A and B are shown apart, each in its own frame.
Chain A
Amino acid sequence: MRVIEVTNLHKRYGDLVAVDDVSFAVEAGEIFGILGPNGAGKTTTVECVAGLRVPDGGAVSVLGLDPRRDPRRLRERVGVQLQESQLPDRLRVGEALELYASFYREPADPAELIDRLGLGDKRKTAYKNLSGGQKQRLSVALALVGNPEVAILDELTTGLDPQARRDTWALIEQVRDTGVTIVLVTHFMEEAERLCDRVAVIDRGRVVALDSPAGLVSRVAPEQRIRFRPSAPLDDRLLTELPEVTAVHRSGSQVVVTGTGDVLHAVTSVLARNQIVAAELRLEQSTLDDAFVELTGHRPAE
């Protein structure tokens, strides 16, 4: 079942085209990633999906509702976590959740949600005294307190330390396991690779690729690289004549073989037949980083 359908979305701010032409569909129960360099139009896209902005063209449908015509009904069923959205300094964790729970007809139990998000001992802590990771978890909690069917999470882990980031990822997987469909905006490749079932890569306001993270990687950069130090002199021709091998380079005492398919097996078989041991053997595969660079021509931001 399609939960979100975006068709030829177009949005401009004056002369600046933020979103040129974006289409995608999100299936129920998946974690859908929206990936792209800064200023690519990711946030504007999800803001149109959440009904916070009015598109200049195209159609958006969320849970069968038009965000423009039915914003109230949509807000009951869609939880949104905005980029850089804070709370009043003196507001306490428990108060924030109870307040936001009061906005919904069938809210989650705030106390239970606080425990589930690991904020149980912070119930009475003021917002300004929370760590970055705790603020982020509270923010996720507020997006979930209305028992939404869809959660839109924008730049969820930006600014978090690696441990807090991993904790947040575990949390998102946990939320998905309860049946919530999640749209995740990110510019962290590792995050997309770890969490997302499918990813739309957006660049300059257009979708340049839409696939699973593994699919994106293999489609864009199918090459693998093998590095090793041979235990005995090695004639390059032994390797270059293999059909799986596309190139052989030397880098100091190391041999670097590039190839496709089952290249690792082919190379190691040839080496074994010639009684050469491959020391310090490493296989380098393309990552989503490489795919991202290939697709957008940018290095992913860090």
Chain B
Amino acid sequence: MHAFGQILRIETRLFLRDPAAPLTTVALPLALLVVFGLIPAGRQPEAQFGDLPFIQYFAPSLLVITLAMTGVNILPTVLATYRERGVLRRLSTTPASPVALLAAQLVISLATILVSAVLLVAVGRLAFDVPLPRHLLGFALALVLGTAALLALGLLVAAVAPTTKAAQALAVPLFLVVMFFGGVYVPRFLLPDLLVRIGGYTPPGVQALLDAWTADAPQPLHLAIMAAVAVVAGAVAARLFRWE
């Protein structure tokens, strides 16, 4: 436990020391929220956004940025780099286990997502009148399952990629798909209906987040898909993961 605490402390420092990581995961979505929030038109309800203001409609997609960056970009890259450079192997020659390092990375990912979600909800509420999630339990569930699905996919990438380059080659397209269907690149109201519907089922499940945030309980099928992705990807990753 002592070793795990030390590893977590050091890994957190390293995460914060790399300015790109906190910037892309937490600062970027928050900055976008502020920018759209400051545009007056962004705060007017519109029929095309389901009678919501744009900022409210778009907020779940901002959360997708954090989730995608953390889960399918930073996590697999860090793990693949650590494996390629022999960091994991060196750890396995000491009384500490490389599992502790993996666990520390997951804790940091979860903390990043939690911090970003709290900031987005709080700043949205305090500065731009975005209501707190209407269905709190549903929102928490959608966030937890969406996070689990993306972290599992990130672990799967780290498990199957033999090198850092290979990890990035796999992670980048996955990242683009997650971001696209999450409505980050093109707001979803501009997408054809079919793509919007597909986006409800691709991790992290932007529709479930939107439903719970603005209206009602998320659809069980949306949540079930995220849980299934998390379990399957996580199980395959656990089977295939190598320390060296």
Contact = CB atoms under 8 A, between A and B. Distances in A.
Interface in A28-78: 50, 52, 72, 75-76, 78
Given A88-B87, A90-B14, A99-B7, A146 B82 contact: no
B90 interface: yes
A278 interface: no
B10 A142 contact: no
B29 to A, nearest CB: 24
Contacts of B87: 85-88
B82 A88 contact: yes
Contacts of B13: 95
A295 to B, nearest CB: 30
Contacts of A98: 6
Interface in A119-163: 142, 146
A103 B14 contact: no
A50 B93 contact: yes
A50 B93 CA distance: 7
Contacts of B135: none
A100 B82 contact: no
Interface string A82-107: 10111110110001001110111100
By CB atoms of chain B within 10 A, which of A76, A79, A82, A84 has the most? A82
A80 interface: yes
B14 A86 contact: no
Nearest to B10: A99
Interface in A229-281: none
Contacts of A75: 93-95
Nearest to B90: A85
A102 B3 contact: yes
A146 B6 CA distance: 15
A103 B10 contact: no
Contact of A103 (B18, B86, B94): B94
A268 to B, nearest CB: 55
Interface string B28-42: 000000000000000
A95 B10 contact: yes
Contacts of A146: 94-95
B219 interface: no
B164 to A, nearest CB: 12
Given A82-B86, A99-B6, A102-B2, A88 B14 contact: yes
Interface of A: 50, 52, 72, 75-76, 78-80, 82, 84-88, 90-91, 95, 98-100, 102-105, 142, 146
Given A90-B18, A103-B94, 19 more contacts: A52-B92, A75-B93, A79-B93, A82-B86, A82-B89, A85-B87, A85-B89, A87-B90, A88-B87, A90-B17, A95-B13, A99-B7, A99-B10, A102-B3, A102-B6, A103-B3, A103-B6, A105-B95, A146-B94
21 contacts: A75-B95, A79-B93, A80-B93, A82-B86, A82-B93, A85-B86, A85-B87, A85-B90, A86-B86, A86-B87, A88-B85, A90-B14, A90-B18, A91-B10, A91-B14, A99-B10, A102-B6, A103-B6, A103-B95, A104-B95, A146-B95
